[in-house]
Structure 1
Amino acid sequence: MNILASILIGIVQGIAEWLPISSKTQVLLASHYLLNLDVSIAYTFGLFMEMGSIGSALIYFRQDVKRVFHDRFLLKFLVIVTVITGIVGVPLYVISDKLLQNAYNPSIPMIFLGLALIADGIYIRYSRIKTREFRNLSMKEMILIGIAQGIAALPGVSRSGMTVSTMLVLGINPEDTFHYSYLAYIPAAIGAVGTTLLFTRHHVSYAVSLIGIGGLAIAVITALLTGLVVIGFLLKIAKTKRVYLIDFMLGGIAIAISALGLIIG
Protein backbone atom coordinates (compact mmCIF):
# COMPACT_ATOMS: atom_id res chain seq x y z
CA MET A 1 0.00 0.00 0.00
CA ASN A 2 1.43 3.36 -1.08
CA ILE A 3 0.02 5.75 1.56
CA LEU A 4 1.54 8.87 -0.01
CA ALA A 5 0.07 8.02 -3.43
CA SER A 6 -3.33 7.40 -1.83
CA ILE A 7 -3.26 10.78 -0.05
CA LEU A 8 -2.15 12.62 -3.19
CA ILE A 9 -4.83 11.00 -5.32
CA GLY A 10 -7.44 11.86 -2.66
CA ILE A 11 -6.32 15.50 -2.60
CA VAL A 12 -6.44 15.69 -6.39
CA GLN A 13 -9.99 14.29 -6.39
CA GLY A 14 -11.08 16.54 -3.52
CA ILE A 15 -9.91 19.69 -5.30
CA ALA A 16 -10.55 18.88 -8.95
CA GLU A 17 -14.14 17.64 -8.53
CA TRP A 18 -15.38 21.10 -7.62
CA LEU A 19 -13.33 23.04 -10.16
CA PRO A 20 -14.01 23.03 -13.93
CA ILE A 21 -10.85 21.03 -14.64
CA SER A 22 -12.31 17.51 -14.92
CA SER A 23 -11.52 15.50 -11.81
CA LYS A 24 -11.64 12.33 -13.94
CA THR A 25 -8.73 13.60 -15.99
CA GLN A 26 -6.70 14.76 -12.99
CA VAL A 27 -7.19 11.47 -11.11
CA LEU A 28 -6.49 9.62 -14.36
CA LEU A 29 -3.14 11.40 -14.70
CA ALA A 30 -2.31 11.07 -11.00
CA SER A 31 -3.09 7.34 -10.80
CA HIS A 32 -1.41 6.70 -14.15
CA TYR A 33 1.89 8.18 -12.97
CA LEU A 34 1.70 7.33 -9.25
CA LEU A 35 0.32 3.79 -9.61
CA ASN A 36 1.40 3.07 -13.18
CA LEU A 37 -2.19 2.24 -14.18
CA ASP A 38 -3.20 1.83 -17.80
CA VAL A 39 -5.04 4.95 -19.03
CA SER A 40 -8.44 3.23 -19.46
CA ILE A 41 -8.15 1.60 -16.02
CA ALA A 42 -7.07 4.91 -14.48
CA TYR A 43 -10.17 6.57 -15.98
CA THR A 44 -12.43 3.96 -14.42
CA PHE A 45 -10.63 4.32 -11.09
CA GLY A 46 -11.14 8.09 -11.29
CA LEU A 47 -14.90 7.62 -11.56
CA PHE A 48 -14.84 5.19 -8.65
CA MET A 49 -13.06 7.85 -6.57
CA GLU A 50 -16.26 9.91 -6.81
CA MET A 51 -17.26 8.18 -3.56
CA GLY A 52 -15.16 10.64 -1.58
CA SER A 53 -16.73 13.64 -3.28
CA ILE A 54 -20.22 12.21 -2.83
CA GLY A 55 -19.46 12.10 0.89
CA SER A 56 -18.35 15.75 0.82
CA ALA A 57 -21.54 16.85 -0.92
CA LEU A 58 -23.82 14.80 1.34
CA ILE A 59 -22.24 16.32 4.44
CA TYR A 60 -22.05 19.91 3.16
CA PHE A 61 -25.56 19.93 1.66
CA ARG A 62 -27.20 17.70 4.26
CA GLN A 63 -29.95 20.26 4.94
CA ASP A 64 -30.84 20.38 1.23
CA VAL A 65 -30.82 16.59 1.07
CA LYS A 66 -33.24 16.44 4.02
CA ARG A 67 -35.73 18.80 2.36
CA VAL A 68 -35.66 17.27 -1.13
CA PHE A 69 -38.87 15.30 -0.64
CA HIS A 70 -40.59 18.30 0.96
CA ASP A 71 -39.64 20.71 -1.83
CA ARG A 72 -41.42 19.81 -5.08
CA PHE A 73 -39.44 22.21 -7.25
CA LEU A 74 -36.08 20.99 -5.96
CA LEU A 75 -37.17 17.35 -6.37
CA LYS A 76 -38.34 18.08 -9.92
CA PHE A 77 -35.01 19.74 -10.74
CA LEU A 78 -32.94 16.83 -9.41
CA VAL A 79 -35.09 14.15 -11.07
CA ILE A 80 -35.09 15.81 -14.51
CA VAL A 81 -31.40 16.69 -14.47
CA THR A 82 -30.39 13.23 -13.21
CA VAL A 83 -32.53 11.32 -15.73
CA ILE A 84 -31.23 13.36 -18.67
CA THR A 85 -27.69 13.03 -17.35
CA GLY A 86 -28.06 9.25 -17.34
CA ILE A 87 -29.57 9.12 -20.83
CA VAL A 88 -26.70 11.18 -22.24
CA GLY A 89 -23.87 10.10 -19.95
CA VAL A 90 -24.08 6.27 -19.84
CA PRO A 91 -23.56 5.77 -23.61
CA LEU A 92 -20.75 8.34 -23.57
CA TYR A 93 -19.07 6.48 -20.70
CA VAL A 94 -19.11 3.22 -22.67
CA ILE A 95 -17.72 5.04 -25.73
CA SER A 96 -15.05 6.73 -23.59
CA ASP A 97 -13.73 3.38 -22.38
CA LYS A 98 -13.09 2.45 -26.01
CA LEU A 99 -11.59 5.83 -26.86
CA LEU A 100 -9.06 5.61 -24.04
CA GLN A 101 -7.91 2.24 -25.29
CA ASN A 102 -7.02 3.94 -28.57
CA ALA A 103 -4.69 6.69 -27.30
CA TYR A 104 -7.41 9.34 -26.86
CA ASN A 105 -5.90 12.29 -25.00
CA PRO A 106 -8.40 13.67 -22.46
CA SER A 107 -6.47 16.94 -22.18
CA ILE A 108 -7.77 18.04 -25.59
CA PRO A 109 -11.47 18.55 -24.70
CA MET A 110 -10.44 20.24 -21.46
CA ILE A 111 -8.69 22.96 -23.49
CA PHE A 112 -11.97 23.68 -25.28
CA LEU A 113 -13.77 23.73 -21.92
CA GLY A 114 -11.27 26.30 -20.64
CA LEU A 115 -11.87 28.46 -23.71
CA ALA A 116 -15.63 28.08 -23.22
CA LEU A 117 -15.34 29.28 -19.62
CA ILE A 118 -13.36 32.33 -20.69
CA ALA A 119 -15.94 33.05 -23.41
CA ASP A 120 -18.65 32.61 -20.79
CA GLY A 121 -16.89 35.17 -18.58
CA ILE A 122 -16.66 37.66 -21.44
CA TYR A 123 -20.35 37.15 -22.21
CA ILE A 124 -21.37 37.71 -18.60
CA ARG A 125 -19.07 40.72 -18.26
CA TYR A 126 -20.30 42.63 -21.31
CA SER A 127 -23.84 41.37 -22.02
CA ARG A 128 -25.29 42.91 -18.85
CA ILE A 129 -27.70 40.02 -18.44
CA LYS A 130 -30.00 40.23 -15.46
CA THR A 131 -29.51 37.39 -13.03
CA ARG A 132 -32.46 35.46 -11.62
CA GLU A 133 -33.07 32.91 -8.92
CA PHE A 134 -32.74 29.16 -9.30
CA ARG A 135 -36.50 28.69 -8.86
CA ASN A 136 -37.16 30.53 -12.12
CA LEU A 137 -35.70 27.65 -14.14
CA SER A 138 -38.06 26.16 -16.73
CA MET A 139 -38.29 22.44 -17.55
CA LYS A 140 -36.49 23.02 -20.86
CA GLU A 141 -33.64 24.70 -19.02
CA MET A 142 -33.45 21.79 -16.55
CA ILE A 143 -33.18 19.41 -19.52
CA LEU A 144 -30.39 21.56 -20.96
CA ILE A 145 -28.50 21.40 -17.64
CA GLY A 146 -28.96 17.62 -17.63
CA ILE A 147 -27.52 17.35 -21.15
CA ALA A 148 -24.54 19.49 -20.12
CA GLN A 149 -23.91 17.30 -17.09
CA GLY A 150 -24.26 14.12 -19.15
CA ILE A 151 -21.65 15.29 -21.67
CA ALA A 152 -19.21 15.45 -18.75
CA ALA A 153 -19.02 11.63 -18.89
CA LEU A 154 -16.43 12.18 -21.62
CA PRO A 155 -12.86 12.20 -20.26
CA GLY A 156 -11.45 15.69 -20.15
CA VAL A 157 -14.88 17.32 -19.76
CA SER A 158 -15.63 18.77 -16.34
CA ARG A 159 -19.04 18.19 -14.77
CA SER A 160 -18.90 21.32 -12.63
CA GLY A 161 -17.53 23.33 -15.55
CA MET A 162 -20.38 22.22 -17.81
CA THR A 163 -23.20 22.74 -15.30
CA VAL A 164 -21.89 25.97 -13.78
CA SER A 165 -21.21 27.62 -17.14
CA THR A 166 -24.61 26.50 -18.49
CA MET A 167 -26.49 27.88 -15.49
CA LEU A 168 -24.58 31.15 -15.58
CA VAL A 169 -25.36 31.62 -19.27
CA LEU A 170 -29.02 30.94 -18.45
CA GLY A 171 -28.80 33.91 -16.08
CA ILE A 172 -29.01 32.09 -12.73
CA ASN A 173 -27.26 34.11 -10.03
CA PRO A 174 -23.77 32.81 -9.16
CA GLU A 175 -24.55 31.73 -5.60
CA ASP A 176 -27.53 29.61 -6.69
CA THR A 177 -25.57 28.32 -9.68
CA PHE A 178 -22.72 26.87 -7.63
CA HIS A 179 -25.00 25.66 -4.84
CA TYR A 180 -27.48 23.73 -6.99
CA SER A 181 -24.87 22.56 -9.48
CA TYR A 182 -23.06 20.89 -6.59
CA LEU A 183 -26.32 19.49 -5.22
CA ALA A 184 -27.18 17.99 -8.64
CA TYR A 185 -23.80 16.26 -8.53
CA ILE A 186 -24.90 13.85 -5.76
CA PRO A 187 -27.38 11.65 -7.67
CA ALA A 188 -25.32 11.94 -10.87
CA ALA A 189 -22.17 10.77 -9.08
CA ILE A 190 -23.97 7.89 -7.40
CA GLY A 191 -25.11 6.85 -10.87
CA ALA A 192 -21.56 7.22 -12.21
CA VAL A 193 -20.17 4.91 -9.52
CA GLY A 194 -22.92 2.39 -10.25
CA THR A 195 -22.21 2.59 -13.99
CA THR A 196 -18.51 2.03 -13.34
CA LEU A 197 -19.19 -1.08 -11.28
CA LEU A 198 -21.70 -2.37 -13.83
CA PHE A 199 -19.67 -1.95 -17.01
CA THR A 200 -15.99 -1.97 -15.95
CA ARG A 201 -15.77 -3.56 -12.51
CA HIS A 202 -12.76 -5.58 -13.69
CA HIS A 203 -10.86 -2.30 -14.09
CA VAL A 204 -11.87 -1.23 -10.61
CA SER A 205 -10.82 -4.60 -9.16
CA TYR A 206 -7.41 -4.32 -10.79
CA ALA A 207 -6.84 -0.76 -9.54
CA VAL A 208 -7.94 -1.71 -6.01
CA SER A 209 -5.62 -4.73 -6.05
CA LEU A 210 -2.71 -2.36 -6.67
CA ILE A 211 -3.60 0.33 -4.16
CA GLY A 212 -5.18 -2.05 -1.58
CA ILE A 213 -8.37 -1.65 0.43
CA GLY A 214 -6.54 0.43 3.02
CA GLY A 215 -5.06 2.69 0.36
CA LEU A 216 -8.45 3.11 -1.27
CA ALA A 217 -10.01 4.04 2.07
CA ILE A 218 -7.29 6.65 2.70
CA ALA A 219 -7.78 8.12 -0.79
CA VAL A 220 -11.58 8.32 -0.41
CA ILE A 221 -11.44 9.87 3.08
CA THR A 222 -8.82 12.38 1.93
CA ALA A 223 -11.02 13.33 -1.03
CA LEU A 224 -14.00 13.78 1.31
CA LEU A 225 -12.17 16.07 3.75
CA THR A 226 -10.48 18.08 0.99
CA GLY A 227 -13.80 18.49 -0.80
CA LEU A 228 -15.49 19.98 2.27
CA VAL A 229 -12.87 22.74 2.39
CA VAL A 230 -13.00 23.43 -1.36
CA ILE A 231 -16.81 23.54 -1.55
CA GLY A 232 -16.97 26.07 1.28
CA PHE A 233 -14.28 28.22 -0.33
CA LEU A 234 -15.91 28.25 -3.77
CA LEU A 235 -19.37 29.02 -2.43
CA LYS A 236 -17.93 32.05 -0.64
CA ILE A 237 -16.34 33.19 -3.90
CA ALA A 238 -19.66 32.68 -5.70
CA LYS A 239 -21.24 35.38 -3.53
CA THR A 240 -19.17 38.01 -5.31
CA LYS A 241 -20.84 39.93 -8.13
CA ARG A 242 -17.74 39.67 -10.27
CA VAL A 243 -18.39 36.09 -11.27
CA TYR A 244 -16.84 36.65 -14.70
CA LEU A 245 -13.48 36.87 -12.93
CA ILE A 246 -14.10 33.34 -11.63
CA ASP A 247 -14.70 32.17 -15.21
CA PHE A 248 -11.48 33.82 -16.39
CA MET A 249 -9.48 32.28 -13.54
CA LEU A 250 -10.92 28.78 -13.81
CA GLY A 251 -10.77 28.82 -17.60
CA GLY A 252 -7.10 29.73 -17.40
CA ILE A 253 -6.46 26.93 -14.89
CA ALA A 254 -8.21 24.41 -17.17
CA ILE A 255 -6.13 25.45 -20.18
CA ALA A 256 -2.87 25.42 -18.20
CA ILE A 257 -3.50 21.93 -16.81
CA SER A 258 -4.57 20.71 -20.25
CA ALA A 259 -1.37 22.01 -21.79
CA LEU A 260 0.63 20.28 -19.09
CA GLY A 261 -1.24 17.05 -19.75
CA LEU A 262 -0.43 17.29 -23.48
CA ILE A 263 3.25 17.92 -22.75
CA ILE A 264 3.74 15.06 -20.31
CA GLY A 265 1.27 12.78 -22.10
Structure 2
Amino acid sequence: MTYIEAIFLALIQGLTEFLPISSSAHLILPSQLLGWADQGLAFDVAVHVGTLIAVVWYFKQTVWELLRGWLQSFSGQHGSDSRMAWLIIWATVPAVIAGLLFADVIEASLRSTAVIATTTIAFGILLWWADRRYAQQQQTLAQLTVKQALIIGVAQAIALIPGTSRSGITMTAGLWLGLGREQAARFSFLMSIPVILMAGVYEGAKLVRSDEVIHWGFLVTGIVVSAVSAYLVIALFMRVIERMGMLPFVLYRLALGLVLILLMV
Protein backbone atom coordinates (compact mmCIF):
# COMPACT_ATOMS: atom_id res chain seq x y z
CA MET A 1 0.00 0.00 0.00
CA THR A 2 1.11 3.56 -0.75
CA TYR A 3 -0.07 6.78 0.88
CA ILE A 4 -2.07 7.58 -2.25
CA GLU A 5 -3.89 4.25 -1.90
CA ALA A 6 -4.40 4.80 1.85
CA ILE A 7 -5.92 8.25 1.27
CA PHE A 8 -8.11 7.01 -1.59
CA LEU A 9 -9.44 3.98 0.31
CA ALA A 10 -10.04 5.95 3.51
CA LEU A 11 -11.86 8.58 1.48
CA ILE A 12 -14.07 5.90 -0.09
CA GLN A 13 -14.87 4.48 3.34
CA GLY A 14 -15.62 7.88 4.81
CA LEU A 15 -17.79 9.01 1.92
CA THR A 16 -19.78 5.78 1.57
CA GLU A 17 -20.15 4.46 5.12
CA PHE A 18 -23.15 6.66 5.94
CA LEU A 19 -24.63 7.30 2.51
CA PRO A 20 -27.17 4.71 1.28
CA ILE A 21 -24.88 3.55 -1.55
CA SER A 22 -22.91 0.60 -0.07
CA SER A 23 -19.30 0.99 1.02
CA SER A 24 -18.49 -2.65 0.16
CA ALA A 25 -19.51 -2.11 -3.47
CA HIS A 26 -17.06 0.79 -3.72
CA LEU A 27 -14.19 -0.90 -1.91
CA ILE A 28 -13.99 -3.71 -4.47
CA LEU A 29 -13.62 -1.26 -7.37
CA PRO A 30 -9.95 -0.32 -6.75
CA SER A 31 -8.91 -3.97 -6.85
CA GLN A 32 -11.07 -4.62 -9.92
CA LEU A 33 -10.08 -1.53 -11.88
CA LEU A 34 -6.59 -0.75 -10.58
CA GLY A 35 -5.35 -4.13 -9.40
CA TRP A 36 -4.69 -2.91 -5.85
CA ALA A 37 -3.99 -5.54 -3.21
CA ASP A 38 -6.19 -5.95 -0.15
CA GLN A 39 -5.58 -3.11 2.30
CA GLY A 40 -5.14 -5.45 5.25
CA LEU A 41 -6.83 -5.93 8.60
CA ALA A 42 -5.02 -3.09 10.39
CA PHE A 43 -6.22 -0.54 7.85
CA ASP A 44 -9.78 -1.88 8.13
CA VAL A 45 -9.63 -1.23 11.87
CA ALA A 46 -8.26 2.27 11.28
CA VAL A 47 -11.05 3.39 8.94
CA HIS A 48 -13.65 1.90 11.29
CA VAL A 49 -12.16 4.02 14.07
CA GLY A 50 -12.30 7.06 11.80
CA THR A 51 -15.96 6.66 10.89
CA LEU A 52 -16.84 5.97 14.52
CA ILE A 53 -15.12 9.20 15.59
CA ALA A 54 -17.08 11.08 12.90
CA VAL A 55 -20.57 9.90 13.88
CA VAL A 56 -19.94 10.23 17.62
CA TRP A 57 -18.54 13.74 17.19
CA TYR A 58 -21.41 14.89 14.97
CA PHE A 59 -24.02 13.59 17.43
CA LYS A 60 -21.88 14.25 20.52
CA GLN A 61 -24.60 16.07 22.46
CA THR A 62 -27.20 13.41 21.66
CA VAL A 63 -24.77 10.59 22.40
CA TRP A 64 -23.96 12.10 25.80
CA GLU A 65 -27.65 12.52 26.64
CA LEU A 66 -28.43 8.94 25.56
CA LEU A 67 -25.52 7.53 27.53
CA ARG A 68 -26.47 9.49 30.63
CA GLY A 69 -30.12 8.47 30.29
CA TRP A 70 -29.18 4.82 29.81
CA LEU A 71 -26.99 4.80 32.92
CA GLN A 72 -29.71 6.54 34.95
CA SER A 73 -32.23 3.90 33.87
CA PHE A 74 -30.40 1.36 36.02
CA SER A 75 -31.28 3.43 39.08
CA GLY A 76 -34.93 3.60 38.10
CA GLN A 77 -34.83 7.00 36.40
CA HIS A 78 -36.56 6.69 33.03
CA GLY A 79 -37.10 9.36 30.41
CA SER A 80 -37.02 9.96 26.67
CA ASP A 81 -33.23 9.64 26.52
CA SER A 82 -33.11 6.31 28.33
CA ARG A 83 -35.96 5.03 26.17
CA MET A 84 -34.14 5.96 22.96
CA ALA A 85 -30.91 4.43 24.24
CA TRP A 86 -32.67 1.13 24.92
CA LEU A 87 -34.34 1.24 21.48
CA ILE A 88 -30.89 1.57 19.88
CA ILE A 89 -29.66 -1.38 21.96
CA TRP A 90 -32.65 -3.50 20.93
CA ALA A 91 -32.07 -2.50 17.30
CA THR A 92 -28.46 -3.70 17.60
CA VAL A 93 -29.34 -7.20 18.85
CA PRO A 94 -30.32 -8.76 15.48
CA ALA A 95 -27.04 -7.65 13.85
CA VAL A 96 -25.03 -9.08 16.74
CA ILE A 97 -26.81 -12.44 16.52
CA ALA A 98 -26.53 -12.55 12.72
CA GLY A 99 -22.87 -11.58 12.88
CA LEU A 100 -22.04 -14.33 15.35
CA LEU A 101 -23.93 -16.96 13.35
CA PHE A 102 -23.26 -16.02 9.74
CA ALA A 103 -20.28 -13.63 9.48
CA ASP A 104 -17.81 -16.35 8.45
CA VAL A 105 -20.20 -17.86 5.90
CA ILE A 106 -20.92 -14.46 4.39
CA GLU A 107 -17.22 -13.59 4.28
CA ALA A 108 -16.41 -16.86 2.51
CA SER A 109 -19.34 -17.09 0.10
CA LEU A 110 -21.00 -13.73 -0.52
CA ARG A 111 -18.22 -11.26 -1.25
CA SER A 112 -18.26 -11.84 -5.00
CA THR A 113 -18.77 -9.07 -7.53
CA ALA A 114 -21.96 -10.79 -8.73
CA VAL A 115 -23.53 -10.72 -5.26
CA ILE A 116 -22.52 -7.12 -4.61
CA ALA A 117 -23.84 -5.95 -8.00
CA THR A 118 -27.15 -7.73 -7.42
CA THR A 119 -27.69 -6.38 -3.92
CA THR A 120 -26.59 -2.89 -4.91
CA ILE A 121 -29.31 -2.77 -7.56
CA ALA A 122 -32.02 -4.70 -5.70
CA PHE A 123 -31.82 -2.80 -2.42
CA GLY A 124 -31.48 0.47 -4.34
CA ILE A 125 -34.86 -0.21 -5.97
CA LEU A 126 -36.29 -1.09 -2.54
CA LEU A 127 -35.00 2.21 -1.15
CA TRP A 128 -36.69 4.08 -4.02
CA TRP A 129 -39.98 2.27 -3.37
CA ALA A 130 -39.93 3.06 0.36
CA ASP A 131 -39.00 6.69 -0.21
CA ARG A 132 -41.66 7.24 -2.87
CA ARG A 133 -44.45 5.43 -1.04
CA TYR A 134 -43.84 6.37 2.60
CA ALA A 135 -41.68 9.52 2.76
CA GLN A 136 -44.70 11.78 3.34
CA GLN A 137 -45.38 10.10 6.67
CA GLN A 138 -43.87 11.92 9.61
CA GLN A 139 -43.69 9.59 12.61
CA THR A 140 -41.06 10.88 15.00
CA LEU A 141 -38.43 8.92 16.88
CA ALA A 142 -40.30 9.69 20.09
CA GLN A 143 -43.13 7.51 18.73
CA LEU A 144 -40.87 4.62 17.74
CA THR A 145 -41.79 1.33 19.43
CA VAL A 146 -39.61 -1.59 20.49
CA LYS A 147 -41.16 -3.71 17.72
CA GLN A 148 -40.29 -1.07 15.11
CA ALA A 149 -36.75 -0.75 16.46
CA LEU A 150 -36.32 -4.53 16.17
CA ILE A 151 -37.59 -4.46 12.58
CA ILE A 152 -35.00 -1.81 11.72
CA GLY A 153 -32.47 -3.96 13.58
CA VAL A 154 -33.33 -6.98 11.42
CA ALA A 155 -32.79 -4.78 8.36
CA GLN A 156 -29.39 -3.84 9.74
CA ALA A 157 -28.56 -7.53 10.13
CA ILE A 158 -29.39 -8.12 6.46
CA ALA A 159 -26.77 -5.49 5.65
CA LEU A 160 -24.10 -8.05 6.53
CA ILE A 161 -24.61 -9.18 2.94
CA PRO A 162 -22.11 -7.12 0.90
CA GLY A 163 -23.62 -4.48 -1.36
CA THR A 164 -26.75 -4.04 0.74
CA SER A 165 -25.64 -0.83 2.50
CA ARG A 166 -26.24 -0.68 6.24
CA SER A 167 -27.42 2.91 6.14
CA GLY A 168 -29.48 2.30 3.01
CA ILE A 169 -31.47 -0.65 4.30
CA THR A 170 -32.03 0.81 7.77
CA MET A 171 -33.32 4.04 6.23
CA THR A 172 -35.51 1.93 3.94
CA ALA A 173 -36.97 0.16 6.98
CA GLY A 174 -37.42 3.45 8.83
CA LEU A 175 -39.29 5.00 5.91
CA TRP A 176 -41.45 1.88 5.54
CA LEU A 177 -42.38 2.13 9.23
CA GLY A 178 -43.47 5.74 8.82
CA LEU A 179 -40.45 7.77 9.91
CA GLY A 180 -39.69 10.94 7.98
CA ARG A 181 -36.47 11.05 5.98
CA GLU A 182 -34.52 13.07 8.54
CA GLN A 183 -35.78 10.92 11.42
CA ALA A 184 -34.99 7.67 9.57
CA ALA A 185 -31.48 8.93 8.78
CA ARG A 186 -30.91 10.10 12.36
CA PHE A 187 -31.88 6.73 13.84
CA SER A 188 -29.78 4.93 11.23
CA PHE A 189 -26.71 6.98 12.12
CA LEU A 190 -27.20 6.64 15.88
CA MET A 191 -27.67 2.86 15.68
CA SER A 192 -24.48 2.62 13.62
CA ILE A 193 -22.42 3.61 16.67
CA PRO A 194 -22.60 0.31 18.61
CA VAL A 195 -22.32 -1.72 15.38
CA ILE A 196 -19.20 0.10 14.14
CA LEU A 197 -17.74 -0.07 17.65
CA MET A 198 -18.28 -3.83 17.86
CA ALA A 199 -16.95 -4.37 14.34
CA GLY A 200 -13.83 -2.40 15.23
CA VAL A 201 -13.32 -4.37 18.44
CA TYR A 202 -13.83 -7.66 16.58
CA GLU A 203 -11.35 -6.76 13.86
CA GLY A 204 -8.96 -5.36 16.45
CA ALA A 205 -9.03 -8.67 18.32
CA LYS A 206 -8.22 -10.51 15.10
CA LEU A 207 -5.40 -8.05 14.45
CA VAL A 208 -3.86 -8.73 17.86
CA ARG A 209 -3.81 -12.46 17.08
CA SER A 210 -2.39 -11.99 13.59
CA ASP A 211 1.20 -11.52 12.47
CA GLU A 212 0.39 -8.55 10.26
CA VAL A 213 3.03 -5.84 10.23
CA ILE A 214 1.49 -2.52 11.23
CA HIS A 215 2.43 0.62 9.29
CA TRP A 216 1.40 3.37 11.67
CA GLY A 217 1.63 6.09 9.06
CA PHE A 218 -1.00 4.38 6.92
CA LEU A 219 -3.20 3.82 9.97
CA VAL A 220 -3.11 7.46 11.07
CA THR A 221 -3.82 8.53 7.50
CA GLY A 222 -6.79 6.16 7.35
CA ILE A 223 -8.24 7.40 10.64
CA VAL A 224 -7.91 11.10 9.83
CA VAL A 225 -9.16 10.94 6.22
CA SER A 226 -12.09 8.63 6.97
CA ALA A 227 -13.10 10.68 10.04
CA VAL A 228 -13.07 14.05 8.28
CA SER A 229 -14.80 12.81 5.12
CA ALA A 230 -17.44 10.86 7.08
CA TYR A 231 -18.21 13.86 9.29
CA LEU A 232 -18.70 16.11 6.26
CA VAL A 233 -20.96 13.51 4.62
CA ILE A 234 -23.17 13.20 7.71
CA ALA A 235 -23.44 16.97 8.11
CA LEU A 236 -24.37 17.52 4.44
CA PHE A 237 -26.74 14.55 4.30
CA MET A 238 -28.70 15.66 7.36
CA ARG A 239 -29.09 19.15 5.89
CA VAL A 240 -30.38 18.18 2.46
CA ILE A 241 -32.15 14.83 2.80
CA GLU A 242 -35.64 16.22 3.39
CA ARG A 243 -35.46 18.37 0.25
CA MET A 244 -33.48 16.03 -1.97
CA GLY A 245 -34.97 12.64 -1.12
CA MET A 246 -33.41 9.27 -1.92
CA LEU A 247 -33.74 9.27 -5.71
CA PRO A 248 -30.20 10.56 -6.46
CA PHE A 249 -28.72 7.75 -4.35
CA VAL A 250 -31.02 5.18 -5.99
CA LEU A 251 -29.91 6.27 -9.46
CA TYR A 252 -26.29 6.16 -8.35
CA ARG A 253 -26.75 2.63 -6.98
CA LEU A 254 -28.29 1.45 -10.24
CA ALA A 255 -25.40 2.93 -12.22
CA LEU A 256 -22.82 1.42 -9.86
CA GLY A 257 -24.46 -2.00 -10.06
CA LEU A 258 -24.37 -1.85 -13.85
CA VAL A 259 -20.67 -0.92 -13.77
CA LEU A 260 -19.98 -3.94 -11.55
CA ILE A 261 -21.92 -6.18 -13.96
CA LEU A 262 -19.89 -4.85 -16.89
CA LEU A 263 -16.69 -5.62 -15.00
CA MET A 264 -17.76 -9.27 -14.82
CA VAL A 265 -18.41 -9.55 -18.55
TM category, shorter? 0.7 to 0.9
TM-score, with length taken from structure 2: 0.84
Check the 8 A contact 1:107/1:259 in 2, yes or no.
yes
Equivalent-residue separation in structure 2 for 1:115 and 1:263 (angstroms): 19
Check the 8 A contact 2:114/2:261 in 1, yes or no.
no
Equivalent-residue separation in structure 2 for 1:153 and 1:203 (angstroms): 23
Cα distance change of structure 1 residues 100 and 162 upon mapping to structure 2, 3 Å threshold: closer
Cα distance change of structure 1 residues 31 and 58 upon mapping to structure 2, 3 Å threshold: farther
Q: Does 1:66 align with 2:64?
A: yes
Structure 2: any 5+ residue segments left out of the alignment? 70-80
Partner of 2:119: 109
> For 1:148, which of 138, 155, 158 is the aligned residue?
155
Structure 1: any 5+ residue segments left out of the alignment? none
Aligned length: 252
Amino acid at match of 1:59: W
Partner of 1:232: 235
Partner of 2:255: 256
Partner of 1:28: 28
Spell out the pairing of 1:202-241 with structure 2 (5 A cutoff). Answer: 206=212, 212-240=215-243
Cα distance change of structure 1 residues 18 and 93 upon mapping to structure 2, 3 Å threshold: same
Amino acid at match of 2:14: G
Partner of 1:162: 169
Check the 8 A contact 2:42/2:219 in 1, yes or no.
no
Deviations 1:205-240 (A, max 9, x none): 65x66xx33112212210100011111100001343
Partner of 1:79: 89
TM-score, with length taken from structure 1: 0.84
Equivalent-residue separation in structure 2 for 1:112 and 1:137 (angstroms): 27
Amino acid at match of 1:247: M
Equivalent-residue separation in structure 2 for 1:255 and 1:202 (angstroms): 39
Equivalent-residue separation in structure 1 for 2:31 and 2:49 (angstroms): 16
Equivalent-residue separation in structure 1 for 2:46 and 2:91 (angstroms): 21
Check the 8 A contact 2:45/2:203 in 1, yes or no.
yes
- How many angstroms does 1:136 deviate by? 0.6
Partner of 1:18: 18
